[in-house]
């Protein structure tokens, strides 16, 4: 049988004196042709954009025709302001603070500072927060948002009704000593009922209590993993393997124990049931 050999046509490159394969030169020519075709099509695309109507969004300041327009504009402004501070409200008045701190403690205790990634931790914290806050959000939607959307109550009444479920949730999670601390710092008379307690006093007390609870849970999480580290370090020292870092052996052991004990499910259940 006659064997056929593949031949390449080589051209001389005058700039470097090197031989450039013909297939490479052909690729450059094709790419240059496509680029010229794209440049030639740009005027056609611009002309098509001139003929096709494109929607435009504008915000204007003008003279109101009646008081109803002023009220609607102020409500839209309040909603936009609320959306801009929504992350702060999420941190201050919900279960997000405790959950995200506990999950961060777990990541440090496992010895994997980059696994799970931070977006995964934040996403899990958000969904657990929505699960915990579901009864409170349902009460706000039923008593405040829906009547306001049906124009049965005013905006002020809706805000007052929405405040009650949030206040009840925060009061259940706040320690009495933290609440008394901020009442003393405010130098105001002690309220006789929880409804008289201002949010400027309740919110920092709630956040302080959440931080305290999250750090206590983090301490309990660290204990079993610390025991595993001590056991592994003692075994390595007794075997004379002092040059081997204990983390190399303890981290797989901690991952195995945590997985076999269904650690994620147990921790999620403890976090959800920890909110009164």
The answer to whether position 147 is within a domain reads yes
The answer to whether position 248 is within a domain reads no
CB 116 within 8 A of CB 107: yes
The answer to whether position 152 is within a domain reads yes
Q: Could you report the per-residue pLDDT of 142-156, keeping only the tens digit for each? A: 888 888 888 888 878
- pLDDT of amino acid 215: 92
Q: Could you report the per-residue pLDDT of 34-49, keeping only the tens digit for each? A: 455 444 554 544 444 4
The answer to whether position 276 is within a domain reads no
pTM higher than 0.85: no
Q: How big, in percent rounded to 5, are the helix, strand and coil portions of the chain?
A: 75, 0, 25
Tallying the residues shown for the chain, one arrives at 276
The answer to whether position 130 is within a domain reads yes
Pairing state between β 10-12 and 19-21? antiparallel
* Higher per-residue confidence, 49 vs 275: 275
The answer to whether position 72 is within a domain reads no
CB 10 within 8 A of CB 22: yes
The answer to whether position 200 is within a domain reads yes
- pLDDT of amino acid 9: 42
Domain count, the chain: 1
Q: Could you report the per-residue pLDDT of 155-212, keeping only the tens digit for each? A: 788 888 888 888 888 888 888 888 888 888 888 777 777 777 888 888 888 999 999 9
Q: Could you report the per-residue pLDDT of 50-77, keeping only the tens digit for each? A: 454 555 545 555 555 655 555 666 667 7
The answer to whether position 47 is within a domain reads no
Distance CA(75)–CA(149), nearest Å, equals 12
Q: Which of 44-48, 108-112, 241-245 has the lowest mean pLDDT?
A: 44-48
Which range of residues forms the domain containing residue 164?
90-220
């Amino acid at each position: 049988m006659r064997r056929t050999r593949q031949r390449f046509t080589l051209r001389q490159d005058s700039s470097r004196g090197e031989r450039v394969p013909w297939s490479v030169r052909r690729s450059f020519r094709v790419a240059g042709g496509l680029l010229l075709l794209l440049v030639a099509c740009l005027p056609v695309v611009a002309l098509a954009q001139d003929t096709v109507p494109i929607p435009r969004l504008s915000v204007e300041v003008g003279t109101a025709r009646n008081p109803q327009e002023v009220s609607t504009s102020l409500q839209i402004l309040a909603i936009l302001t609320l959306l801009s501070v929504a992350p702060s409200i999420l941190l201050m008045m919900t279960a997000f603070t405790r959950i995200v701190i506990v999950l961060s403690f777990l990541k440090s205790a496992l010895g994997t500072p980059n696994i799970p990634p931070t977006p995964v931790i934040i996403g899990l914290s958000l969904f657990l927060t929505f699960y915990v806050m579901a009864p409170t959000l349902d009460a706000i939607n039923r008593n405040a948002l829906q009547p306001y959307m049906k124009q049965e109550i005013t905006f002020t009444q809706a805000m007052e009704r929405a405040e009650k479920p949030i206040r009840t949730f925060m009061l259940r999670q706040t320690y009495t000593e933290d609440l008394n601390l901020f009442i003393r710092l405010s130098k105001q008379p002690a309220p006789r009922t929880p409804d008289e307690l201002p949010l400027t006093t309740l919110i920092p007390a709630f956040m302080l209590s959440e931080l305290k609870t999250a750090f206590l849970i983090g301490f309990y999480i660290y204990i079993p993993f610390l025991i595993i580290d001590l056991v592994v370090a003692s075994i390595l020292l007794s075997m004379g393997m002092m040059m081997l870092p204990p983390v190399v052996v303890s981290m797989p052991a901690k991952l195995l124990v945590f997985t076999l004990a269904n650690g994620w499910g147990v921790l999620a259940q403890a976090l959800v049931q920890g909110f009164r």
